[in-house]
Structure 1
Amino acid sequence: MIEHVKTVILWLLILLSVFLTYQIWIFQPNYRVLQSTEYIDRTQIGDEKGLDQVIRPKQIVLYNDGLSFSPIGSLEYIQKYYDEYHGVSVEQITVTTNFIDIEIDEEFKGIEFIFPSSIPFEALNEFFHFNNNKSSFIRNIDRIVFFIESSDGKEQVHARLISNNEQVVANAITNISAESFREDITVDDKNGSYYEVFPYNIVNYGSGFMGTVFLPEDDLMINSGTYLAKTISAEHFKQSLFSDPSFVKNYLQSNGEESFTDGNRMMNVLNNGNVLQYINPVFGDGIDRNDKHILFTGLDFLNGHGGFTNSYYYDSVKSVGDKDEINFRLFVDGIPVYRANFFEINNLYEITLQRGSGNRIEQYKRPLFFVDEEPINLGESTILPSGYEVIKAINNKEDFNPYLLTDISVGYMMVKRQSFVILEPRWFIYYNNSWEVVNVVNGMEDSEVITDGLE
């Protein structure tokens, strides 16, 4: 009898096991909860961009009839020249460490591209088509000059690639037609976008290599403007920056700032919601950095985590302790933004990325808003003094040290309000590793105008 009971129980257990197995096999989870959760596409924050879209010269100079001209503050003309010379083929490259300055006389016909920071040569493969491997002798480029040169009665367009830091010059012959080149550098200034300029040497690298800026002979006329500033939700970046956003916890700090973390990575919303900071620490991973330039690492990171929300261009690279740091700067209508009313907050107009010992981006800071392309109100033109007045003002700067000056440029001062920004043109200098407004007296003191009502 007991054996029969055991047999019955055993069969019941077997049947129960078969039933449960079948139920597991046919089980369909209820996806309605997941489907009702808002999902933010990682690609919808901004646009992915290639190298050729984030590298732009800070200045273009045309040489013709013994004069020099520059389309200052004109995105249309800068884009025009940059696009026309994109994809140029070069050959017969010769590399030298002897700098021979080009004689700018009435016979000289040329165009020069001056970049805000050294461009890694690998990036120039996006700009040039090299027909031999001599290019490997230069690691980075600061300036490119195209010019006509005659030999045996034949005119050819040459290219000179200059690396000030390395004190190296590469000379090459291009496939550009001399006839079309003459047309390109002929200034037809119906819109008043070109200014006659003169060279001013700032940094002496030695052996004839100079950091040169071109400043206007006369006063400039640059428009100010008011633009809508649209907030980007931190939720968008939470979806983009964390591998599993469902594990991210949100904390409100005592100072009113907001933080997000998954226990390793952290994302902070700073400065009244205007700035995002992302930290992804690396703890002793033992990964050695390869030779990949941070420009490529930074661009890959930005394209993979939301893209670009405005016209940001490669601006500078520097070392911060044992880390590399790269900056992409906001440009509006072809003019860079260098300062804001919150003077200490660079990331209202810069995207900054830091890379540690490996190739991983460990810190990322950027604005949490984007600026509309078209102004809602275009202000009256602001008169900026000539380059001569700027030089005079710089030399009159109290305790001025010329060795700390490395750049001079027209740029915008940004005044950030709740839902809009005001952009005012000013002269700036890069002095002692930061951008400063030049106080030039031209009917009024610039410093008084800037600080009035902005603090």
Structure 2
Amino acid sequence: MGLKYIEPIKSIILLLLVLMSITFTFSIWTYSPQLAPIDQSKTVDISIGQQKDVKDVVKPYKFLIKYEEELKGTTDQIAIDKILRDMGTWKVSQLLQDPTEMNKVQMKEFFEQPNQFTLYFNGQVPLPAYDEILPIDEMTKKNLPEFSFDRLIVRWDPKAIAFEVHFINRATGIHFYGKANLADTTKSYQSIIMESEELTHYVEVKNQEPTYLAVPDEPVPMVQKTYYQEEISPGRFRDALFNDPNAVKRSQVDHNHEEFGDDHALMVVNTETKMLDFVHPAAEAREPAKPSDLLLDVIDSINEHGGWTDSFRYSYINSLSRYVKFQLFINGYPVHSESDASGLTEIVQFYGDDRVFRYIRPYYTLESSLSFNENMDLPSGTNVVQSLMESEDLDFSLVEELTVGYMMKHDLEQRIFVLEPAWFYLFKGTWKRYTPEQTGGEPFGLE
């Protein structure tokens, strides 16, 4: 082959290499391998029960309305909810603080005034959080104080049909008041003031100490209820509370206790009482919390896993220890547990740094009621007051409140919960059950 063919051959080879390179590059760009479909990991369902709004959890347990000549009231939740729905259309404005803190005598005199109604709350309600239930106008909200109340009083002027709203903290005597701007004044006056004349007749208790008490003077119809012992699998709470449920180990501690734990948290389960106690030590916070933020954070944290398995209501807060408690209610009545089963009817949470630090609660659920519920009449409030006043074992001047509720008894052998209707009285911060045989009563937990 002559030298004259070498250069053309080189050019042809170079062209072929370039064409091959372009072909390989294009095939790489356009290549789509036929891969087998990858199974998606199953997501864990952590919606245990219901989610609830603030208005479903922060509720008054009693409504009392004072006319010129009569005192009426109710603990019926349907009637109270109707009043709250109407108030939800109002706007509170021009909120001011009374410069003088009330003492007990002044407070009693205030509660005794006519042309007003009062909503009773178990716990101290942070005012900024209550804005979701009783709206506050935007201008007032900008300077809203971090203040808590346990009595909400609405006063009306019968001539002008104008309404004032008063928030009172009975523990401190601090008092805020403002103007209520009603969406429909005539409608609210009719549905709350006029229609409440049909409610149960109440009487004021005249005792020697300046504590305002009012009770119904008629027997109270109640129903004793019995429920099957049903439970939610603790494994569902494990999935909801631990960062990685797959890393959690389960161990049997003894006949009635199990533990679920990983390197960060521990959950102890009492299989007899149907209670669980979860703790995440690294989340502990030592700084006090703002009460309104704390309450809303705890409600949100329980909503995250649908933790409202029954009708629990807000009942107590301690912003220093970042502690919030919720009480079980049935048909609008508080449910207490016996002293040897304290906490059986409560959800307790300590909220830490942006998450739960400690969480104590039951994992039973009261969904299935047995058919042999029993109707009964509890004695009137006036009869109970008379009995307590006559007791030699009780200083009645220290009684702060009286209300109807349920005592829960857990029958382990029959695997049932029995809810017995009873009167309860608040004595030195502790709820006690009234019994005619033992007037001194028994304590059921600190409020």
TM bucket normalised to smaller: 0.7 to 0.9
Match among 129, 143, 165 for residue 159 of structure 1: 165
Deviation, structure 1 residue 324: 3.2
Distance 1:406 1:245 in 2: 46
Deviation, structure 1 residue 346: 2.8
Deviation, structure 1 residue 398: 5.3
* 3-state SS, counterpart of residue 85 of structure 2: helix
> Could you list the per-position Cα deviations for residues 233-283 of structure 1 after superposition, in whole angstroms to 9, with x for gaps in the alignment?
011111101110111000101343111001221111115151111111138
> Could you list the per-position Cα deviations for residues 138-165 of structure 1 after superposition, in whole angstroms to 9, with x for gaps in the alignment?
6111211222216xx6331222222223
> Could you list the per-position Cα deviations for residues 50-102 of structure 1 after superposition, in whole angstroms to 9, with x for gaps in the alignment?
21111100211123352111223x22112111222124112233321445644
Match among 332, 336, 339 for residue 337 of structure 2: 339
The normalised TM-score by structure 2 is 0.78
CA change 1:420–1:403 in 2 (3 A) is same
Distance 1:188 1:120 in 2: 27
Distance 1:368 1:243 in 2: 20
* 3-state SS, counterpart of residue 92 of structure 1: strand
Match among 109, 120, 127 for residue 115 of structure 2: 109
1:413 — aligned with what? 407
CA change 1:137–1:296 in 2 (3 A) is closer
Quote the RMSD (CA, aligned, Å).
3.4
The sequence identity of aligned pairs, in percent, is 21
1:330 — aligned with what? 328
Q: How does 1:233-272 map to 2 (within 5 A)?
A: 233-272=233-272
CA change 1:175–1:252 in 2 (3 A) is same
Question: Which amino acid counterpart does residue 225 of structure 2 have in structure 1?
Answer: G
Gaps of 5+ in 2: 1-31, 442-447
* 3-state SS, counterpart of residue 436 of structure 2: coil
CA contact (8 A) 2:333 2:405 kept: yes
1:63 — aligned with what? 66
1:16 — aligned with what? none
Distance 1:388 1:220 in 2: 11
> Could you list the per-position Cα deviations for residues 405-455 of structure 1 after superposition, in whole angstroms to 9, with x for gaps in the alignment?
4432211011224553221110112334433211126xxx7999xxxxxxx
* 3-state SS, counterpart of residue 306 of structure 1: coil
Of structures 1 and 2, the larger Rg is shown by 2
Deviation, structure 1 residue 178: 4.4
Corresponding position: 1:291 with 2:271: no
Q: How does 1:12-411 map to 2 (within 5 A)?
A: 40-43=44-47, 45-72=48-75, 74-98=76-100, 99=102, 101-102=109-110, 108-131=114-137, 132-133=139-140, 136-137=144-145, 139-149=147-157, 154-176=160-182, 177-183=184-190, 184-187=192-195, 194-200=199-205, 212-272=212-272, 274-282=274-282, 288-291=287-290, 293=292, 294-318=294-318, 323-340=321-338, 343-355=339-351, 358=353, 360-372=355-367, 375-377=369-371, 379-397=373-391, 399-401=393-395, 405-411=399-405
Distance 1:26 1:435 in 2: 71
The normalised TM-score by structure 1 is 0.76
Distance 2:133 2:144 in 1: 15
CA contact (8 A) 2:256 2:271 kept: no
Question: Which amino acid counterpart does residue 133 of structure 1 have in structure 2?
Answer: T
CA contact (8 A) 1:426 1:437 kept: yes
CA contact (8 A) 1:310 1:330 kept: yes
CA contact (8 A) 1:267 1:276 kept: yes
Distance 2:80 2:372 in 1: 21
> Could you list the per-position Cα deviations for residues 202-256 of structure 1 after superposition, in whole angstroms to 9, with x for gaps in the alignment?
998xxxxx76443111221212122344210011111101110111000101343
> Could you list the per-position Cα deviations for residues 97-118 of structure 1 after superposition, in whole angstroms to 9, with x for gaps in the alignment?
445644857xx43321111111
Distance 1:166 1:80 in 2: 30
Distance 2:369 2:168 in 1: 38
Question: Which amino acid counterpart does residue 370 of structure 2 have in structure 1?
Answer: I
* 3-state SS, counterpart of residue 296 of structure 2: helix
Match among 417, 433, 436 for residue 440 of structure 1: 436
Deviation, structure 1 residue 309: 0.9
* 3-state SS, counterpart of residue 185 of structure 1: helix
CA change 1:203–1:257 in 2 (3 A) is farther
CA contact (8 A) 2:317 2:323 kept: yes
> Could you list the per-position Cα deviations for residues 314-334 of structure 1 after superposition, in whole angstroms to 9, with x for gaps in the alignment?
011247xx7232211111111
Distance 1:81 1:317 in 2: 25
Distance 1:140 1:345 in 2: 30
CA contact (8 A) 2:128 2:146 kept: no
Distance 2:424 2:65 in 1: 23
CA change 1:185–1:355 in 2 (3 A) is same
CA contact (8 A) 2:64 2:71 kept: yes
* 3-state SS, counterpart of residue 362 of structure 1: strand
Distance 2:211 2:310 in 1: 29
CA change 1:218–1:166 in 2 (3 A) is same
CA change 1:433–1:159 in 2 (3 A) is closer
Question: Which amino acid counterpart does residue 149 of structure 1 have in structure 2?
Answer: D
CA contact (8 A) 2:393 2:439 kept: no
Gaps of 5+ in 1: 1-24, 205-209, 449-455
CA contact (8 A) 2:261 2:267 kept: yes
CA contact (8 A) 1:148 1:178 kept: no
